[in-house]
A and B are shown apart, each in its own frame.
Chain A
Amino acid sequence: MSAQLVVTRGGTTSRITLALLAFAVIVLAATPWFFGVGGSGRAVALLVYVLLAVMWNALAGFAGLVSIGQTLFFGVAAYTTIRLSNAGLDPYLAILASVAIGAVLGYVTSLFMLSLKDGEFAIGMWVLSSLAHLCVNLDPLIQGETGTSLISLNGYAIETRSSITLWLALVLTLAVLAALFALLRSPTGAAITAVRDDELGARSIGVNVIRTKRIVFVLAATGTAAAGALWLASNLNFQPRAFFGVHWTAYMLFMVLVGGLGRIEGALIGAVLFFVIETFFASYGAWYLVGLGGVAVFFALVLPNGLWGWIGPRLPGEAIPTGYIINKSKT
């Protein structure tokens, strides 16, 4: 009788989660036929929130990089979409090009930002975002805070436009989620979590800390850029303050902290919760923001690990399995 190592990475819980996610994707893809232009617009908003939450969570929850300036990538991607489409590129190609530009910007930014620690990094990112905001304002096409529109999208019929934007948002969101999932399940993913838990300990066992952080940082920049370009495609108007504003950072923080830091499931739930709250309460103006703050305070006091921090441990296995369960069985 010989012993055999059995590694488990997923089970019933993850299979049910996959089925639920597949169902959600089908519903979202079919939205244009059942809920029309308005429904498609809301679906894009949900996907943008998912992108923002999952990417901010990847950065803060997995790599320990708390940034309050991710609007750098959100705003720059929207701006480059405007610029490229104004130069004659198809607006949807401009969106894809802007996502790529976001990735490059993320890589270049990482070369000097990742040597900063904790608060320095957080504030440094905000400074970069503000700097980009000011530079964009100087562009005559943008006309300061007056802004401009993605007028080339008007070349498409409104139904076509809203459907294409939604499907593009769905594809980009799934691609980013798949990339993050694959990354976290890879050996590099475990190294990323190790760096978050103890940087010195990680260095001691050979982890290249800067390289590891860079991978997550660039992915987060790419996903956040996709969110910015999609938000523009959905809303058409580009006013710099609406894209570089610090309120986006507050939304990202809210979604991740309420959903649960350090788990993809937490970010997804946080995004959905934020979307629901916004859908039903945004019309209350200032009281809506007060309510958001109240919810955040409630979670900080009662459920500091977020919704998933409460739900996750009660489930038999991981919903989105990135870890390992190992046992030795006799065969």
Chain B
Amino acid sequence: MSAPNPVLRSDGISMSFGSFNVLSDISVSVGTGEIVGVLGPNGAGKTTFMNLLTGALAPTAGRVELLGRDVTRLDTAGRCHLGLGRTHQVPRPFLGMTVFENVLVAVTQGRDVPAADPIATAWDVLDQTGLAEVANRRGETLGLLDRKRLELSRALATDPKVLLLDEIGGGLTDVEGDALVALILKIHDRGVTIIWIEHIMRLLMQTCTRLICMAEGRVLADGEPKDVVESEAVQVAYFGAAA
């Protein structure tokens, strides 16, 4: 499915590790202001797809465009400066630094246009994500939920135009999940385009305007969330329905 004003586009990207094809010919276009959910069974290639979009991996074929610019050969930090933020499936806090310092690094290093007041900006992000109260705690002391919040805070601190979330809802309670959805919708309201890989259907259905289902390194379905979920191919590949 192609979007009218694509902010992020993959054009026939493929990824192989030796003779093993992880992704085959993925062409996806995400338009300004969309919230796109990506689902699929384990091993579908979702995280690899995200790693190709962010530059953590280089595709064996195809190209990636960010805001109309070919970024296929641009590294992760370069794409971040152009406005592509991400969270990792397994949170990667800087353990020896405080929560505030974790976010401050993102404010000072991840923006093309420097923040006028980095300290206040970092604090605002923490306030927004509910981490202000633990701002002076070291990353190593945080539990899973706060580590995920910190992951999101750091991505937000880079002032992204496109935000890629990798299974950020995993391990959360229903209440925490609802709070996350509210936060993501708030971020979206500020004009940030969101791509969200997630296994928890409830969160995606509450949030997304579009759903992509992947299986075995290919796009199985792409469209309105309700249509994608009800499609026969998705029912078989993801929900285990009998063919």
Contact = CB atoms under 8 A, between A and B. Distances in A.
B48 interface: no
A201 B96 contact: no
A85 B104 CA distance: 47
Contact of A207 (B54, B105, B119, B155): B105
B112 to A, nearest CB: 9
B109 A324 contact: no
Contact of B88 (A196, A201, A206, A262): A201
B135 interface: yes
Contacts of A205: 80, 85, 105-106, 109-110, 154-155, 157-158
Interface string A200-244: 111111111100000000000000000000000000000000000
Contacts of A194: 94, 97, 102, 105, 109
Interface in B78-135: 80-81, 85-86, 88, 92-98, 100-102, 104-106, 108-111, 118-120, 123, 132, 135
Given A190-B105, A191-B105, A325-B136, A203 B123 contact: no
B143 to A, nearest CB: 18
Contacts of A330: none
A5 interface: yes
B187 to A, nearest CB: 16
A206 B77 contact: yes
Contact of A198 (B92, B118, B132): B92
A187 B108 contact: yes
A190 B157 CA distance: 15
B76 interface: yes
A324 B97 CA distance: 9
A200 B86 CA distance: 11
B201 interface: no
Contact of B119 (A197, A201, A323, A326): A326
B27 to A, nearest CB: 24
Given A5-B123, A207-B109, A201 B92 contact: yes
A326 B123 contact: yes
A242 B25 CA distance: 60
Contacts of B155: 204-205
Contacts of A209: 77
A328 interface: yes
A243 to B, nearest CB: 34
Interface residues of A, number: 27
B56 interface: yes
B224 interface: no
Nearest to A62: B96
A7 interface: yes
Contacts, number: 107
A206 B110 contact: yes
Contact of B106 (A5, A196, A206): A206
B80 A187 contact: no
A193 interface: yes
Contact of A204 (B80, B100, B123): B80
Contacts of B111: 206
Contacts of A326: 100, 119, 123, 135-136
B70 interface: no
A53 to B, nearest CB: 19
A7 B104 CA distance: 12
Contacts of B77: 203, 206-209
Contacts of B54: 204
B88 A204 contact: yes
B51 to A, nearest CB: 10
Contact of A203 (B75, B101, B102): B75
Nearest to A5: B123
9 contacts: A187-B105, A198-B95, A201-B154, A202-B109, A205-B105, A205-B157, A205-B158, A206-B80, A326-B119
Top-9 shortest CB links A-B: A206-B110, A201-B92, A187-B108, A206-B80, A197-B94, A205-B106, A203-B76, A205-B110, A198-B92
Given A197-B95, A207-B105, 17 more contacts: A187-B104, A187-B109, A194-B105, A197-B94, A197-B96, A197-B97, A198-B93, A198-B94, A200-B56, A200-B76, A200-B92, A201-B93, A205-B155, A207-B77, A324-B98, A324-B101, A326-B123
Interface of B: 54, 56, 75-77, 80-81, 85-86, 88, 92-98, 100-102, 104-106, 108-111, 118-120, 123, 132, 135-136, 139, 154-155, 157-158
